[in-house]
């Protein structure tokens, strides 16, 4: 089956992912993914921080099946019960006053840019520039590529969408130097995921919040990867004790069903008036049923508490390995269940491959850092399986 799929992929699919890992999955259960040949893998990447509830979560699947039997899509010309209820859930669970639904994290970030720009436009203020950080990742659209602080993503698409610039993370002086009278917003990931799980300093984040307030600049927090419990809080900005003017989320909000959200304070959100923004599929009955089911599971199963507790256990055990292999493991970073394990560059690829061969799914960021983002309902026994595989890889494959 795998070889047939690979042949079809090579013949018909645009080659944006290169040579993929040689496995295809037929079904999953909890942390486990089952390959077509019967091999069992453990999903420590969670579909890249998407599968917050793991695979085939019974109540989640039941909610989707019930919705599929009733209604998939109507369009936003009409009121949608699930859409209204999920907006209520997001607002009552966060610092936001309003929410808007779309289809992905990139689209949510696009919506945040548009909201920031139109906010000042409607005030008659000529502000349109958006500052983001080096090593950030905000999406694959033209505007989000311009906001992404990684030149290799930007190079093929120049000239980039104007008005975007990047500065060094965790450097407050760089913020003050970069801001102009045209700066509309500053966008940050409080924990940069794709570049290798790099958290911002708490003092930096709080200074940034105060600086934006003092200078009439909107603070946008990209919570696409860190949102919906990933860090042990519903949103990462709660860890930092700050409230953004706008924040975005996606990924885990749908547990695999495509959905994104732009969430904002009332003063900012009111800049979007009828006709200013829109979507065909965003917030349809199916995707918002998924979002509601995710919220229900997080609340009923105490998944925020579990993510916090298991994250601490995971990092403690990884730091134990770091003590045992100080020349191989250089750093362990992260919060909750978003963890980066930085390795000596010469061995990182071999470790990644060794983990995959031992049926542990992760990703390799920047060729240096193993990223893990498992389901929020992970157990300590499953963490121990990973630690055992990691140790065996360091002992036997390096």
**DSSP secondary structure of 140-171:** SSHHHHHHSB-HHHHGGGPSPPTTEEEE-TT-
- Token pair recorded at residue 65: 């099946």
pLDDT score recorded for residue 203: 98
As its CATH architecture, domain 2-57+302-396 has: Alpha-Beta Complex (3.90)
Residue 381 neighbours by CB under 8 Å, 6+ apart: none
Query: Residue 106 class from Cβ within 10 Å (0-12 exposed, 13-18 middle, 19+ buried)?
Result: buried
- Token pair recorded at residue 384: 């121990």
Give the active site residue among 251, 308, 317, 352: 251
Q: Taking phi first (over 0 means left), then psi (-120 to 50 degrees means alpha), and beta for anything else, what does residue 170 get? A: left
**pLDDT of the chain, 398 residues: tens digit per residue:** 899 999 999 999 999 999 999 999 999 999 999 999 999 999 999 999 999 999 999 999 999 999 999 999 999 999 999 999 999 999 999 999 999 999 999 999 999 999 999 999 999 999 999 999 999 999 999 999 999 999 999 999 999 999 999 999 999 999 999 999 999 999 999 999 999 999 999 999 999 999 999 999 999 999 999 999 999 999 999 999 999 999 999 999 999 999 999 999 999 999 999 999 999 999 999 999 999 999 999 999 999 999 999 999 999 999 999 999 999 999 999 999 999 999 999 999 999 999 999 999 999 999 999 999 999 999 999 999 999 999 999 999 88
Give the active site residue among 113, 137, 314, 390: 137
Give dist(CA 34, CA 346) in Å, integer.
31
120 part of the active site: no
211 part of the active site: no
Residues of the chain with CATH 3.40.640.10: 71-300
Residues of the chain with CATH 3.90.1150.10: 2-57+302-396
As its CATH architecture, domain 71-300 has: 3-Layer(aba) Sandwich (3.40)
137 part of the active site: yes
Give the active site residue among 43, 113, 222, 247: 222
Which residue reads 């199963």 in tokens?
301
pLDDT score recorded for residue 345: 96
Q: Are strands 164-167 and 260-264 parallel, antiparallel or unpaired?
A: unpaired
pLDDT score recorded for residue 398: 85
């Amino acid at each position: 089956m795998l070889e047939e799929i690979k042949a079809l992929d090579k013949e018909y699919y645009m080659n944006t992912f290169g040579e993929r890992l040689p496995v295809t999955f037929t079904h999953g259960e909890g942390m486990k993914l089952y390959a077509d040949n019967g091999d069992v893998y453990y999903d420590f990447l969670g579909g890249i921080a998407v599968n917050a509830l793991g695979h085939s979560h019974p109540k989640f699947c039941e909610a989707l099946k019930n919705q599929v039997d009733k209604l998939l899509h109507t369009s936003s010309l009409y009121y949608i019960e699930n859409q209204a209820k999920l907006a209520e859930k997001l607002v009552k669970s966060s610092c936001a006053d309003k929410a808007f639904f779309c289809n992905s994290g990139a689209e949510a970030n696009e919506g945040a840019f548009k909201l920031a720009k139109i906010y000042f436009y409607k005030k008659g203020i000529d502000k349109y520039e958006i500052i983001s950080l080096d090593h950030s990742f905000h999406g694959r659209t033209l505007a989000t590529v311009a906001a992404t602080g990684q030149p290799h993503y930007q190079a093929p698409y120049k000239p980039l969408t104007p008005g975007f610039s990047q500065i060094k993370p965790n450097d407050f002086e760089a913020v003050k130097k970069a801001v102009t009278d045209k700066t509309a917003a500053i966008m940050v990931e409080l924990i940069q995921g794709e570049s290798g799980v790099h958290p911002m300093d708490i003092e930096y984040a709080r200074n940034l919040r105060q600086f934006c307030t003092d200078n009439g600049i909107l603070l946008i927090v990209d919570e696409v990867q860190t949102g919906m419990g990933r860090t042990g809080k519903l949103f990462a900005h709660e860890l930092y004790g700050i409230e953004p003017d706008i924040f975005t989320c996606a990924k885990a909000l749908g547990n695999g069903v495509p959905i994104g959200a732009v969430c904002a304070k009332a003063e900012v959100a009111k800049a979007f008036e009828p006709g200013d923004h829109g979507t065909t599929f965003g917030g349809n009955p199916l995707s918002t049923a998924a979002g509601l089911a995710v919220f229900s599971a997080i609340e009923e199963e105490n998944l925020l508490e579990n993510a916090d507790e298991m994250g601490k256990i995971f990092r403690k055990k990884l730091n134990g390995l770091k003590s045992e292999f100080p020349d191989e493991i250089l750093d362990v970073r992260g919060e909750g269940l978003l963890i980066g394990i930085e390795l000596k560059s010469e061995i990182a690829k071999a470790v990644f491959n060794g983990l995959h061969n031992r049926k542990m799914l992760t990703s390799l960021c920047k060729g240096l850092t193993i990223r893990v983002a498992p389901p929020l309902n992970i157990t300590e026994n499953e963490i121990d399986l990973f630690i055992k595989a990691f140790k065996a890889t360091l002992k036997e494959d390096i």
